[in-house]
Amino acid sequence: MIQPIIIAIDGTSASGKSTTSKRVARHFGYTYVDTGAMYRALAWYCLTQHIDLHNEKAVGAACRKWKTSLVNVDHQVRILVDGYYPEKEIRTSETSAAVPFVAAVGKVREWMKTLQQSCSQFGNLVMEGRDIGTTIFPDTDFKFYLDAPLAERSKRRWADGVSEDLAKRDHSDSQRATSPLMIPLGAMVINNAGMTIEQTSQLIIDEVQRRLAARKH
């Protein structure tokens, strides 16, 4: 059986992972996976169930309780909670503030790893997140890491009308005990300060095409 191609795009908050990943997926006709949305869905679920976000045991137990399924809609993987896709709910500032607490729980990351690896059932993927190339699919030949200076990324957040303490998020992402944010081994690092999404996407597309061509020789 032919193994699906996994393009792993990791990086810091507001480094352009989502928009870039969607463009790359569209170019190749691959399925796009936003792993951050999965953590957001759990954060939203914990909020609706009034689960104490500071209680790691309770947050970890939520993974065993909630009923989820994955679907592929227009080449995008969605996580359904009790058959419902909380598209708007997971993007609220309240949910955003809850995500780092949920994402830092070891049991949550173990559960998410299994879920995210199962996305390969949908074929070739462009998967974005913070530990795709290090933990979820460490053996993929297509690893990319996006970053930009904190000031630039903060400016992007403000332009999107989002208020988020990126320095605090960077710290919690890189310091957590399980699957911390780090540059994957063998990843192409792209500092996209001053670059457009089109330029960032094209860099990745060109490199993927180069590596795919090299496989044929």
The letter for the amino acid at 9 is I
Residue 206 neighbours by CB under 8 Å, 6+ apart: none
Question: Is residue 154 predicted with pLDDT exceeding 90?
Answer: no
The full set of domain ranges for the chain reads: 6-216
**For the whole model, what pTM was predicted?**
0.90
* Lowest mean pLDDT segment, chosen from 78-82, 98-102, 213-217: 213-217
Which element (helix H / strand E) includes 155?
Answer: helix 150-159
What class, spelled out in words, does domain 6-216 have in CATH?
Answer: alpha beta
Tell me, what DSSP letter sits at residue 141? S
Which element (helix H / strand E) includes 129?
Answer: strand 125-129
CA distances from 182 to 26, 128, 179 (A): 26, 14, 8
CB environment 34-62: b (16+ within 10 A), e (fewer): bbbbbbbbbbbbbbeeebebeebeebbeb
Question: Is residue 81 predicted with pLDDT exceeding 90?
Answer: yes
Q: State the pLDDT confidence band at 179, using cuts at 50, 70 and 90.
A: confident
